[in-house]
Structure formats: structure tokens, C-alpha cells
Chain A
Amino acid sequence: MGRTSAAMAVFLFLLLSLFSILQLVSSSPEIRVLSAERRIDVTAPITRVFLTLKVENAGTSEVSEVLLAFPPTEAEHLAILKASVAEGKRKKKTYVPLSVNPSESPDAPNGARLYSVSLRSPLKSGEATTVEAFYVLTHLLEPFPAEISQSEAQLVYYRDSATLLSPYHIVEQITSIKTPSNKVESFTSVDPTSRVGSELRYGPYHDHGPYSYSPVIVHFENNNPFAVVEELVREIEISHWGSLQIRDHYKLKHAGARHKGVFSRLEYQFKQSISGVASFRHLLTKLPPRVHSVYYRDEIGNISSSHLRIDSHKSELEIEPRYPLFGGWKATFTIGYGLPLQDFLFESHDGRRYLNFSFGCPLIETMVDDLTVKVILPEGSRNPTAAVPFPVDQHLETTYSYLDVVGRTTVVLQKRNVVPEHNIPFQVYYDFNPIFMLAEPLMLISAVFLFFVACITYVHVDLSIGKSS
């Protein structure tokens, strides 16, 4: 009996020590967040968050990466995540970008997704550094009521947590939410909470443990047009004869509160300040400078309500869809234009040619659910490779255009969830022998020459039935 109880005690002790070791390993006590400041901007349909973390290494070993946690609802809408660290003092402050990679951790609760930020130099024991993170979320604002009539304003819900979700212990934190106007219907109060004008402030909160989460809902007015391009196909066709032809096929949707009841054009025209405030009739497109031959049409023809302003730095195309767009309404149209070749096509030192063009959607402040960029290379191009600064799906296709025999090699780049922050240049490299430029004129010449050969043959062949004299 005594022997068994002794064995039990030893077993229990072993079990307990095992548990404590596991806890030590899993809760990663090396890093402590001294202060966290989160600034959330919900003024546009796209949610932008600036996060400033002051992290301290409270452990004994060196730390080379900091983890950022996102709840699953945010993680699936995360369009871009950038981190940087400030270097230098006040005036000579420069931000050095840090690499961010998705990370896995077994102790992340309820499907929280982790991203690890690699620090430039490992953080020694007792040292502290400030990491700045910037991320963009789409489709996070939920219209409520989900259906509004023409004269009503659009109200939306924003759901988040008053405290920052983090795998670390946070000593002090503050969250501020910037709404488009001071018309805030309601907000969850988690003391201390204050509201000044259009800014809602949660915190400061002290000493919250890892993965603490206190959900809050903010209900406010957001009359911004929720312009969402459900599908955008961009075709960029390179012609070595001096032009770049671009065709953008849009499937645009107003993703705000759905329109309820009938649409009164009279009311819409006469009471513009109160009627259809959440709808939109204009769209602004930013095009590169020196654009020419711009056209804008949809399936049933040309739409003439557009304005093009060209200056030396940029071109702006303001377009009106065929009808004003209310919540839930869609518009499908195409914008096409030409650009001078020498602005975008270059030859590198090793003789390869490359296209340098901006990724993303030219419509300003618009998110794209599904973006496809097709770069149609000239006939005879070989070994195409694309260099895009973020992960995209890519494959090759063959496109047939004017005077083609074997077809043009096409590089197809696909990306989901694209925001204006993705409007950065990408490159497509390819090999091209200039002799292939002669293929098109040779084709035309041989066609005309065949006609002459037919004429010569006709004249030389005697087709008469009777005996020639």
C-alpha cells in the first residue's frame, strides 16, 4: 500500500513538472509588449490599420522575430500586411521594411492566424525596439440595415476587439477608430472608452495576458460608395511597332447596403444632397501620362459621359456608368487605351527585354476581388518570366491577334483581394529577336505577291477551248 502511494506521488510530481515545462515552452515568455497603439481607419470601404508595437525582450535568449496575431475573420480579409522598423533619431528617421511571413503556432486559440515579422538584428535580452505594422482589410464593414431606400443614409457595423489580439503579454495599449463623420449610432463601451468628434478611443488598458479578446461593435454612418470590382481582366498587348494597347474589362458592383423599393430619377436629380447619398455616378481612373486613343464602352456601345484630363505627370479619366449605381447594382464595362512603347518597355544589360508596368486597378480607392493581368507578348518572344513583388498565381497562354501564325505567348498573373496598395510596378522579362518584327510585313507582301502570281499564271495559261491559231 505504502509502496503504491509513493509511486503515485512520484508519478504525479513527474506529471506536474512535465506540465510546467510544457507551459514554459508554449507561452513564449521571452517577449513582452510594452506599449501597443492601434489606429484603425474605417472612413473608406477599405479598412486600414496602423499598429505601433514597442516590444521588449524579457527573456534570456535572443529573439529574432515578433509574431502578429489576427482573428480568423480578419485573416481571411487581409489584403496586405507590411511591417517596418524606424531607424535614426527624430528628423533623420527612416523606415526600413521587414519581411513578414505566415507562421504556425500550436497554442493559437480558435483559429487565430499568426504572421512572423523578422527583425533586422536579433533583440538581445533586456533590449526594446519599436515595430510598425500596416495592414489593409477588405469587406470588413457590414451594412446594417442591409437594405435601405433611396433617401436613407448607409449605416455599417464594424466589429473588432477593444484589446489587441497578441500572443504576448501587453503592458499598455490603446486603440482608436476613425469614422468618416461624427454620426455614430452606437458603440460598445469597454471602460475607459471616449469619443471625440469622429474618433473613438478604447483604452488605455493595462496588463492584458496573451490572446485576450473583448469584442466591440461600432455602428456608424458611412456614405462612401462601396465600389468593388468583382472581376477585373487587364490585357496588356505589346507591339514592337511602337505601342502598348491596354484593355481593362470591369465587373463593378456597389457592395454597400442593397437598394430597397423603386428608384426615382426625379428625386435623384433634384435632391442630390439627401437622395441616394450612398450611390455613385462618377468613377475616377488614374492612367499613365501620354495616354492616347482612350475609349470606354459597355456591351451595347459607347458611353460618352466621360472626361479625360491629361497633364505631364498623369492622366485622369472620369467616367459615368450608364446609370447611377445603388447598393447591390452592377455595371460591366471596358476601358481601353494606348501608351507609347518607350515609357514601359526596356532592354536590360543582358539583352533581355522587359515590360515595367503598374499592377493593380487604375480605379482609385477600389478593391478588386479577382484580378487577372494578361501580358500579351509579341509573336516570337521566348522564355517569359514575371517578377512581381508579392505572391501571385501565374501561367502561360497563347493569344491570337492581328497577323498571327503561331500565336502570341501570354503571361497570365492572377491575384485575389487586391487593394490600391498593390499598385506597384511589376516586370515581365522575355527574349526577343528583332528579326521577328519582319514577320508581319512579309506576310502582307506574300499575300499581295500571290495575287500577282495568280495574274501572271492566268495570262500565261491558254484557257481557250478552240484551237489557237
Chain B
Amino acid sequence: MAPTPVTSPVPIQWYPMLSALFLLIGLLVTASFFIYEATSSTRSRSLLKEAVSAAMASTFLGFGSLFLLLATGVYV
């Protein structure tokens, strides 16, 4: 068995597209988070809902910025 070449987990051609997609979703979720923060009152606010949308937004923004770094040639 010959040694197998190690490749990137995602094809490097996808990085710009993935970056745009993830950042877009991330920013939309961020927007909805802030809309929720601004429109809800102190009493009606649910911490769980806030935490879930914050986690979603940060996941998408985190991966989006990682792919943005990779797409621009900053190989982390």
C-alpha cells in the first residue's frame, strides 16, 4: 500500500464561496439577535433564545472568518 497524500478537509477552491455563505448567514443571525435584543422588553426576554442565536451566529461567523482567512492566503 502506497502512502496516501494528505489533502485539506474541504477543497481549497470552495473557500471563497464558503466564506461568503457562512459570513452572510452569520450576519443575518447576528442581525436577528440584535433585533430581538432591541425589540423585546426586559421581562419578555428569554436567555435561552438569546444564547441559542448567539451561539449560531458565532459559529457561522467563526467558520466564515476562518474560510475568509484561508481564501485570502493566510493559511492558519
Interface of A with B (CB < 8 Å)? 237, 239-243, 245, 293, 338, 340-343, 345-349, 353-354, 401-403, 434, 437, 440-442, 444-449, 451-453, 455-456, 459-460
Contacts and interface: CB of A to CB of B under 8 A. Distances in A.
B12 A347 contact: no
Interface string B41-75: 01001010011001101110111011001100111
A242 B62 contact: no
B5 A343 contact: yes
Given A242-B75, A456-B50, A448 B62 contact: yes
Nearest to B26: A448
Contact of B57 (A245, A440, A448): A448
Main secondary structure of the interface of B (DSSP, over half): helix
Nearest to A456: B50
B8 A447 contact: no
A341 B70 CA distance: 13
A448 B4 CA distance: 36
Contacts of A455: 33-34, 37, 54
Given A447-B62, A455-B34, 11 more contacts: A243-B12, A245-B75, A338-B73, A346-B4, A347-B3, A347-B5, A348-B3, A353-B6, A441-B66, A449-B55, A460-B42
A241 B62 contact: no
Contact of B70 (A241, A347, A448): A241
Contact of B7 (A239, A338, A341, A446): A341
14 contacts: A239-B76, A240-B8, A240-B9, A241-B12, A245-B75, A293-B73, A340-B12, A342-B7, A354-B3, A402-B69, A448-B62, A452-B58, A455-B34, A456-B37
A293 B4 CA distance: 26
A453 B54 contact: yes
A438 to B, nearest CB: 10
A342 B5 contact: yes
Contact of B37 (A293, A346, A440, A459): A459
A408 to B, nearest CB: 11
Contacts of A338: 73, 75
A445 B22 CA distance: 12
Given A241-B76, A402-B69, A402-B76, A445 B62 contact: yes
A380 B3 CA distance: 22
A354 B1 CA distance: 16
Contacts of B66: 440-441, 444
A241 B8 contact: yes
Contacts of B3: 346-349, 354
B5 A345 contact: yes
B50 A241 contact: no
Contacts of B33: 452, 455
B3 to A, nearest CB: 4
The interface centre, meaning the residue of B33, B63, B66 with most chain A CB atoms within 10 A of its CB, is B66
A403 B5 CA distance: 25
Contacts of A353: 6
A441 B9 contact: no
Interface in B10-55: 10-12, 33-34, 37, 42, 45, 47, 50-51, 54-55
Most chain B beta-carbon contacts within 10 A, residue among A401, A441, A442: A441
B73 to A, nearest CB: 6
4 closest Cβ contacts across the A-B interface? A242-B8, A445-B62, A452-B54, A239-B75
Contacts of A444: 61-63, 65-66
A64 B12 CA distance: 55
Contacts of B37: 455-456, 459
Nearest to B62: A445
Contacts of B76: 239, 241, 401-403, 440
Contact of A448 (B12, B58, B73): B58
A457 to B, nearest CB: 10
Given A403-B76, A456-B54, A242 B70 contact: yes
A213 B44 CA distance: 101
A239 B69 CA distance: 13
A432 to B, nearest CB: 9
Contacts of B47: 456, 460
